[in-house]
Structure 1
Amino acid sequence: MARVRYGARTEAEIAAARTASSRLPDIWSTGVVAIWETDPDALAAVLPPPLKPTDRPLARVNISKVDLPGYPLGAGSFAVAAAHDGVEGWYPLVMPMTHERALVGGREVFGEPKKLGEVVVERDGLTVRAFLARHGIAFVEVRGAVAGELPLPEPVQKTDFYFKFLPAVDGSGFDSDPVLVRCVRNEKVRKLERITGDVVLRESMYDPVADLPVCRLVEITIGEKTSDQRGKVVERVDARALLPYIHQRYDDPAQVLDAPPEGSA
């Protein structure tokens, strides 16, 4: 009988796949990163327990083109500063990706809030424009001009926090206790430039990042980076405490009833 590819793989085939994935070369990306101070109350409102705000209410957007072998990938992240058990890092609210393949591993293994979307980084000489878009709305856009090179930073370790869970089959709660995942990345940079520009947040019912306004811009950079990724479960989470926040992960139809904050454009 000819091989049936949906059939079970042998132990040798499974081991070969694991070995191949552990020997991936460095994958470099060209990305725009903007960091700003936002409204501290708004930031605190989006953090599910047990995450807590840090001393400085920072928000960050990362918009990148990734040189994946075989096809290019657009990868984005909109995150806020957060802390857990004495460790400070970032809590991503939405991570648009341009290919489904990039969604699966991150969502199923780490609990990353990845969604299909449009991710664009454009550079024309010194002019730079980058944006994240879904449902036809560029809900965050960074634009500006390169103002000069920056010294290359030493390799650095960065931390992200994710919640990994499965909604219950009957639509009520979770199938098992959710967990908090701490993901550590070792990042190397081979080129870094400073951008003078601004960050534009646009109203979107499904990606309401406009609720985290730019109160004071800290920095905008464009650079070429690579990193690895390791995650571990650090805590079992109270399901009742997390449940009010799971709409962050999905395009919830009930969000059409949500209104933007008073006074917003």
Structure 2
Amino acid sequence: MATRIRYGARTPEQLRNREVEATSVDTWATSLVAIYETDPALVAAVLPPPLVASVPEHVRVTIARVDIRNMPPFGAGTFAVGATHDGIAGDYALTMPMSTEQSVVGGRETFGEPKKIADVRLDLSGGLAVGSRLTGSFTRLGVTYVEIAGTLVEELPLPADRVRTSFYLKFQPAPDGKGFDDDPGLVHVQRRERTRALFKVDGEVILRESRFDPVVDLPVRRLVGIEIAERSSLQTGAIVRRLPQEDVIPFAHQRYDNLSPVGEE
């Protein structure tokens, strides 16, 4: 009897890109979204060219519990700033904490998303209903560096279906430690979103110091609003242009932790 060697060559059927397929089917998530304004100079400082800040300068924090068929729910987060490119408004993520390895690896390698393993939690005391208390948080390396707490105070009308754009940088560090394998790609990702429940939240956004996830450097100057929703998302992406390595190298650290014992304290 022939033995199947699972590390052997795969058939064309087995080589299907499961990551792209997974983002191209309806995936429902319970998503807590907070938007706040911060200092314009701070947003400009974290955007690599050719991205420029949107106006007013804002930060979008998302903490979600995602349900995918045949898999346990997982936690997913995004900490992003508003940005534009070629007249298209969207957001640029500084970090995307995820609670499982599967949700990290595909997104990083396929779309260039700056994902890291973390403990991402979203807890509702009484489900999606007015009066429920909620807490959401990101925790990495012993530090809870983002927390959102509040109460659902009002059920809101359902918005129309929409398309939301995100910008990512796709690159791989060169094995000799000098730059990248190739010029980085600027990726545009479109998420076609449907909403089946939406509530306004009365709450606050708390940022804490973290050496490895320094989101506290973009402080809350004005809280625009907090909402929680049940949403589905269909995601597609493409590289729209290549960027000079020298423009991206200064920002590559956003994706990686500096664990070097000789690094700066």
1:185 is matched with which residue: 186, 191, 197?
Answer: 191
Pair 212,256 (structure 1): closer, same or farther in 2 beyond 3 Å: farther
How far residue 138 of structure 1 moved from its aligned partner, in angstroms, is 1.1
* Corresponding residue of 1:194: 200
For residues 2-57 of structure 1, what are the alpha-carbon distances to aligned partners after superposition, in whole Å with 9 as ceiling and x for unaligned? 11111111234436x76x93797522111110000111111110001111111210
What amino acid sits opposite 1:103 in the alignment? V
Map residues 149-164 of structure 1 onto 2, 5 A cutoff.
149-164=155-170
TM-score, normalising length: structure 2: 0.92
| In structure 2, distance between residues paired with 1:178 and 1:112 | 13
Q: How does 1:34-53 map to 2 (within 5 A)?
A: 34-53=34-53
Q: Is the 8 A contact 1:78 1:94 kept in 2?
A: yes
CA distance in 2, matches of 1:246, 1:171: 12
Deviation at 1:253?
3.0
Q: Is the CA contact (8 Å cut-off) linking 2:195 and 2:231 kept in structure 1?
A: yes
Instruction: Name the CA distance, whole Å, in 2 between partners of 1:256 and 1:138.
Output: 23
The 1:188–1:50 alpha-carbon spacing in structure 2 relative to 1, beyond 3 Å, is same
Distance 1:90 1:222 in 2: 19
- What per-residue deviation string (whole Å, max 9, x for no partner) do you get for residues 37-95 of structure 1? 11111111000111111121010100000112321110000000011111110000000
Q: Distance in 2 between matches of 1:63 and 1:12?
A: 34
C-alpha distance in structure 1 between counterparts of 2:13 and 2:225, whole Å: 49
Query: Secondary structure in 1 aligned to 2:251?
Result: helix
1:91–1:161 Cα contact (<8 Å) kept: yes
Please give the root-mean-square deviation of Cα atoms over the aligned residues, in Å.
1.8
Tell me the residue number matched to 2:245.
239
Q: Are 1:146 and 2:152 an aligned pair?
A: yes
- Are positions 1:8 and 2:27 aligned together? no
| Alpha-carbon separation, structure 2, partners of 1:24 and 1:245 | 29
Q: How does 1:63-142 map to 2 (within 5 A)?
A: 63-69=63-69, 70-125=71-126, 126-142=132-148
Please state if 1:257 is matched with 2:258: no
Tell me, yes or no, if the aligned pair for 1:205 and 1:256 is still in contact at 8 Å: no
The percentage of counterpart residues that share the same residue type is 48
Asked if 1:168 is matched to 2:193, the reply is: no
| CA distance in structure 2 between the aligned counterparts of 1:187 and 1:23, rounded to whole angstroms | 12
- TM-score norm. by structure 1 comes to 0.92
Flag the 1:87–1:72 CA change in 2: closer, same or farther, 3 A: same
Q: Secondary structure at the match of 1:44?
A: helix
CA 1:154/1:179 → structure 2, altered by over 3 Å: closer, same or farther?
Answer: same
* Change in 2 beyond 3 A, CA 1:11/1:168: same
Letter in 2 for 1:14: L
CA separation in 1, counterparts of 2:79 and 2:68? 21
Number of residue pairs matched? 256
Cα–Cα, structure 1 residues 224 and 9, in superposed 2: closer, same or farther, change >3 Å? same
